[in-house]
Structure formats: C-alpha cells, structure tokens
Chain A
C-alpha cells in the first residue's frame, strides 16, 4: 500500500511533471550510481536480468510507457513526413533526371532549378492562377459558409440535422466531386448552363472547361462547393461560443442586427475567423483531386495551379528536380499560413 502511495504522488501530472521526473531519475547522483553502475558484483547475468526487468517495468509502469507510446508515432511521422520534406529541399538543389533517379549521390545544381522554374514560359500564368484560385475559393467558402452558419444559428426545428447534411461534401472522395461537377459544368449539355439560360442570366452556353478565360473558374466553383460545409461547421462552433447575454444587452441598448453583428459577432469570433481563413488557405493549397477530374490544368495551362504543376513536372514529364523545386516554393506559402493558424488556435490547443 505504501509503495502505491509513493508512486502516485511521484507520478504527479501537470506542469513539468514529465521533464522533472525524468531529470530526477537521470541526474540524481545516488540514483544514477545505484541503477546503472554495478558496484561490487560486476556484470553478472542476474544483474543484467534485473536491469532488464527494471527497463521493462518502466515501459509498463513509468515514464517509459509514455515515451514508448509517443516515440512510435513520432518515429513513423519523421520517417514518412519529416525526412521526405528535408529530402525534397535537398532535391531542389540537385540535378535529378531519369539517370540519377535511383542513385543516392547526385550532382549538385545550386539554384539552377529555381532559375529554370522561374524561366518556364508558364510560370507567371501558374502563379496568377494559383493566386486567383486561392483567393476566390477562400472568399467564396468563407462568405457563403459564414452566411449559412449565421442562418443555422437561428432556432428552428431540425437546424442541427439539416446543417449536418451539408457536411456530406466533406466526406466524399475528391475525385467523385470533381466528376460530378465536371458533368454539371459541361459546355453543351451541362445542367448549369441550362439553368442559367432558363433564368435569363446568360444568352449562350459558357464552355466552362474548354474556354481559357473561365476554365479556372470551373475548378473554383467546385472547390467552393467542396469546402463550404467545413467552413460553415467551424464558424458555427465559434458562433455557439458567444454568450447570448451580450446580444440581449446590446438589444436593450437599442443596437440593430447589423450593429450587433459588427460590434459583437465579428470581434468575438476573431480567433475563429483567423483559424478558418488559415485552414481555408491550407485546404485550398492542398486541393488536388479536382484538377485532374475537371480540366487537367487545361486548356493550355489556363487552369494549372502550383500543386498540379508540381505533380505534372514529376509524374508526367519525369522532371523530378523541377517538381521538387515548385513544391518547395509552395511550401513557403503553406508554412506562412500554418504559422497564422497555429497562432490563432494556440490557446485553444492547450486548453
């Protein structure tokens, strides 16, 4: 019984428990001597067995258990995500072609890959497309998602269930979403053109996928549909966190709905909005499946964005060095977004 009591008190969760108990064990001179240095008997089999047993019981019952749990996952993630990331940066400075693809040591290329990528004739077109795609996808997802979140925050029967139905887009495979939108947006027989014409908005068919001036919009429309629901869900959570008292007080003071939105809802949602916008940027830069399904980047690269261009370089032109270079350039953008994301959710993460 006494043994247990000691262990539980030693076990203490909370601030610094992990590092301090580890430190205590490793640094305490007596403990170090007793546990690790055999003093008289030497390294007998029994002693080794005892050490082994202590090690195993630590895995089962001490800090070792936690270290074991976390290190398996961390080693896996380092091997499958951390190292490839470093390797990607390395490859962007190397000469990688079909001959050196399999070898571990490749000629160093300096920043030649970066110069080559910027000199590609389609570089500025792709940059512009990426900016257009990211900005309008995010704007559409956010504005429509916010409007829907505000609407579903009203009290009416079935609000939560119907709102949940919207999330169906989020669980569908991206390629299926792309296939459906590719058919809806088809030029001659697509249903969107038919609806727009019957409403009198357009006079003649828009060739969404084959007209160079609108092809990027075909993917943007599909992407807004895809990401809208997730934005709405996150914003709904933020809205639900605002105390009703604030609104009642404002109403008593005579604030109208617009003033309440502007002076209460928006300021109270600031960290949620920061998180949603940065997640939107990340999600938009991650969006890949819609491109092969709808336009394949065409016609003439007018709907190619950075992530699809990088993939085309590597897997259609087999120019892995350029593919790696483009993705490193994109990575800078993603890191920028994720720093905003981490900053805006930091206190919630720890809570």
Chain B
C-alpha cells in the first residue's frame, strides 16, 4: 500500500510551514525596501510597489553603524577568544575523567549555564564599579559575556571530545609524546571541527549580546549594534523602514553564516545540546 505522492505532499506542507515560520524575516527585508509612506499603507502591501534601497545608505551613515558593528565584532571576538582558550581545556578534562570531582564540575557548569544574565548584571556592575573596570567598559562586557557563554561551550565541546577515541591518545603516549604533546598534536586536530562550530555559535550569540552592553557601556562610541538598535526602538517607534534596514544590515551576516553552516551547526547541537 505505498502511495508515492505522500512524501511530496509532506514536502509541500513542510515548505508551507517553513514559509509561515520565516515570514517575520521576509517582512523585515520587505519593509526595509518600502518607502516611508508605503509602510503605512492599509491594507499592507506584501511586495513593495517600488523597491527603494536608499534607506540602507541613510541608516548606515546617520546611525553610525560602522562604529556599532565594529564594537559588536570586537566584543564577540573577545568573548569567543576567552571562551575557546579557557573552555576547550576544561571540556577536555571533563571528558577524559570519570570521578566524583568531574561530577561536581559538571554540575557547577550546568548550574552556571542556567543563570540569567539579568540576575548577574547587578552584582557584576557593582563589582566592576568597585574595581574600576567600568573605565574599560568593552573589556568588562567581554569578561561578563565570556562567563555567560563558556558553560554552554564546555558542554558542547565535551561531547565532541567524547567522540575522540582514547586509544589514539594512548598510542601517542606509548610513542613517546608527553600528555601536552598528545593533546596538541592528536586530540585537538581530531576535535577541530566540533570546536570550530561551537566557536562560531559563541561568536554569533555574543554578536547579539545586549543586556551587559546596555548596562555597562555608557559611551555611544563604544556601544555594540544591539544597543544602537535599542536607541531608536520602543513602543512608540514609527521609523519602521529605517529600523528594519538597520536590523537587516545587522542580521544578514549572521544569517549567511548560518545558512552556509546549517548542517554542521544542527548536528553539533544535537550531539551535545541535550546532554
């Protein structure tokens, strides 16, 4: 009783579901191309009458987006560097041993993973203020956000290290490598892809970091793009085509990376996320 049309019917339904789900993204791009009067048309037009991309250039220069995006990139790069350098070794040790200390460490890391940033921001701000770190606000944000990003990274990368067979490492030790040598020349190269995917995920999520930056960085020339967006966004905003153009510029690089690496990201998440 095989019905050959069923898979294609399911495919059609799946595409329709995806279209509904991704409609907000479509609406962002379409709105950004509409003219200032067309966005208030009633009923709304689902395809711009005349596409006008000039708002992109205007938003870019008027909102000093190059500064904002540069700061976002700096912060995300700093967070990723700290997370990868500190987190990889930690994940390796947690993957290699099985004892009560590892259980304690894992439990602590799972607990840290669940702490909301909104809970941590008050004590961090007060402590940074006392230690004078608020004079280096971007560094302060990088430190705070790295502590937020690291637990998730460790959990995912640990799952990657679990897939590297111990026998390979032991063979390297028999051949005269030190532990350090075996780690750098055998284990790390084998886990490279998993670490890379997790590093990209860390970069993407800290590229959109908002709450720490908003609370800690007061100087507009040091703020990232998320804070820049919040500057002209609120319950009473009307400047919707500029806001959508800003959002589109901000989010398109992330979307491009995601589409390119989609398969790897999904498989990296499914191997580690539930664990």
Give chain A's interface residues, CB within 8 Å of chain B: 4-5, 7-8, 11, 13-19, 59-62, 65-66, 68-70, 72-74, 76-77, 80-85, 87-88, 91, 96, 101-102, 104, 148, 151-152, 154-169, 171-184, 186, 188-189, 191, 194, 198, 209-210, 225, 228-229, 233-234, 236-238, 272, 275, 282, 285-286, 288-289, 292-296, 298-299, 307-308, 310-311, 314-315, 320, 323-324, 327, 330-331, 334-335, 337-338, 341-342, 345, 348-351
Contact = CB atoms under 8 A, between A and B. Distances in A.
- Identify which of A5, A19, A171 gathers the most chain B CB atoms within 10 Å of its CB: A171
Given A158-B14, A234-B273, A296-B234, A175 B208 contact: yes
B101 A19 contact: yes
B116 A334 contact: yes
- List the 4 shortest-distance A-B pairs measured between CB atoms, nearest first: A173-B208, A69-B89, A80-B147, A73-B90
B226 A173 contact: yes
B89 A234 contact: no
Contact of B86 (A73, A166, A331): A73
Nearest to B208: A173
B99 A307 contact: no
29 contacts: A13-B97, A19-B101, A73-B89, A76-B147, A77-B151, A80-B147, A85-B115, A91-B122, A91-B123, A157-B7, A158-B14, A168-B255, A169-B21, A171-B205, A173-B209, A173-B225, A175-B230, A176-B251, A184-B24, A210-B235, A225-B24, A233-B273, A234-B274, A286-B116, A288-B211, A293-B230, A299-B235, A350-B98, A350-B103
- Interface of B, helix, strand, loop or mixed by DSSP: helix
Contacts of A351: 275
B88 to A, nearest CB: 8
Nearest to A234: B274
Given A13-B166, A84-B124, A174-B208, A348 B275 contact: yes
Given A8-B170, A327-B119, A81 B154 contact: no
B10 A154 contact: yes
B136 interface: no
B176 A80 contact: no
Contacts of B211: 288-289, 311
Nearest to A291: B118
Nearest to B200: A171
- Identify which of A85, A91, A152, A330 gathers the most chain B CB atoms within 10 Å of its CB: A85
Contact of B178 (A15, A61, A159, A311): A61
Interface in B21-57: 21-22, 24-25, 27-28, 31, 39-40, 42-44
Given A162-B15, A194-B43, A156 B251 contact: no
A172 B208 contact: yes
A133 to B, nearest CB: 13
B174 A65 contact: no
Interface string B240-274: 10011001001100110011001101100110011
A201 B90 CA distance: 54
A310 B215 CA distance: 12
A164 B262 contact: yes
A87 B126 contact: yes
Given A298-B235, A314-B121, A334-B115, A73 B150 contact: yes
A77 B112 contact: yes
B77 interface: no
Contacts of A160: 263, 266
A78 to B, nearest CB: 9
Contacts of A102: 129-130
B13 interface: yes
B195 interface: no
B208 A70 contact: no
Contacts of B100: 19
A66 B119 contact: no
B1 interface: no
Contact of B127 (A84, A166, A233, A299): A84
Contacts of B262: 161, 164-165, 167
Contacts of A76: 82, 86, 146-147, 150
Given A148-B17, A233-B266, A323-B122, A69 B90 contact: yes
Interface string B106-137: 11111110111111111111110110000000
